[in-house]
Each structure stands twice: as structure tokens, then as C-alpha cells.
């Protein structure tokens, strides 16, 4: 058993009973009861949140991002006239780049309005999508952060 859970348990007991005793000794029985119940609930909540059933401390968060989006940040996944999955900018976030995506209402299908997700090869998919995100002036959490490409390939859209 980890010493941290023992220290946490000891600290909880001291705080719960010390605070309850303080209120009760000052003839504040209702406050003592509310303090006792509130600190017990808080201690149990944080104990379950921070420690596992075996007493070990919970491991930290996993890799970031936990899941990659189908489209770059703030773009909307849609289907074009040829039944291909594409992303469009419906709110105007693509401001930079050499050929930024134009704001679309979802009906435009020319290259200026879409971010295509089809690539020439599955082996170079990440490099192609990262380069396209750079060219269009959008960021993509886990793929292109505005400065460097990552190593996580985004999923294929459904």
C-alpha cells in the first residue's frame, strides 16, 4: 500500500474530527453536523478520484489529444457533390496561409471553399494533410499546431 493514501487518510481523520470537535465544543451542534457530513463527502470523493481501489495513486492523464478530429479545428465535416468527405469553414477561422479556405454556407464545392480529406497515398497521408493545413492556414490539434507537424495520423471520416 502506498504511503500517500495512509497520509491522506490520517489527514482526513484529523480534519473531520478536529473540525467537528471545534464546532461541537462551541455549542454549534448543527454546524458540527453539517461540517462532519460535508468533509466526509469531500474526503470520500477526492479519495476515490485520486486513488485506486488497491490504494495506489491514479496515473496521470494519457497522451494529448485523447482523440483526433476528422477535420481541422473549427471546421465542419460534410460531403461534397461527388460523395467525398470534405471539411468546410462555416465561421471564418482560416485567415492565414497561402490559400485560405473561404467562408462557406455548405453549398460551395470549389477548392477555395473546402479542405479535402482524400489523399493520394495512405503512407503519406499525415504529411499531405499537415501540408494542406499549413497552406490553408488552419490548425489541427494533434496534427498541425501552426508550427510543426506531429506524428499522429487523423482518422478517416465515416
CB 43 within 8 A of CB 12: yes
Q: What is the pLDDT of residue 11?
A: 95
Q: What is the pLDDT of residue 100?
A: 82
Q: Cα–chain-centroid distance for residue 72?
A: 15
CB 60 within 8 A of CB 134: no
CB 73 within 8 A of CB 141: yes
CB 79 within 8 A of CB 107: no
Residue ranges in the chain modelled with pLDDT below 50: none
Q: What is the pLDDT of residue 20?
A: 95
**Where does 26-124 have alpha helices with state H?**
29-50
| 38-47 contacts, C-beta under 8 A, 24 or more apart | 39/12, 39/15, 40/16, 43/12, 43/15, 43/16, 47/5, 47/8, 47/9, 47/12
Nearest to 89 by CA among 59, 56, 47, 133: 133
Q: How far apart are CA 144 and CA 156, in angstroms?
A: 16
The two most distant CA atoms of the chain are separated, in Å, by 78
Task: List phi, psi (to 5°) of 30.
Answer: -65, -45
Considering the entire predicted model, what is its pTM? 0.58
Amino acid at each position: 500500500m502506498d504511503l500517500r493514501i495512509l497520509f491522506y487518510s490520517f489527514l482526513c481523520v484529523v480534519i473531520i474530527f478536529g473540525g467537528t470537535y471545534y464546532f461541537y465544543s462551541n455549542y454549534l451542534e448543527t454546524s458540527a453536523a453539517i461540517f462532519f457530513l460535508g468533509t466526509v463527502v469531500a474526503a470520500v470523493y477526492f479519495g476515490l478520484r485520486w486513488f485506486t481501489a488497491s490504494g495506489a495513486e491514479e496515473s496521470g492523464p494519457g497522451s494529448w489529444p485523447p482523440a483526433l478530429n476528422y477535420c481541422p479545428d473549427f471546421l465542419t465535416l460534410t460531403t461534397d457533390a461527388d460523395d467525398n468527405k470534405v471539411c468546410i469553414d462555416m465561421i471564418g477561422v482560416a485567415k492565414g496561409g497561402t490559400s485560405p479556405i473561404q467562408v462557406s454556407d455548405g453549398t460551395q464545392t470549389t477548392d477555395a471553399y473546402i479542405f479535402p480529406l482524400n489523399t493520394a497515398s495512405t503512407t503519406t497521408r499525415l504529411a499531405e494533410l499537415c501540408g494542406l493545413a499549413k497552406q490553408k492556414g488552419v490548425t489541427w490539434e494533434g496534427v498541425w499546431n501552426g508550427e510543426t507537424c506531429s506524428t499522429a495520423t487523423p482518422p478517416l471520416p465515416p
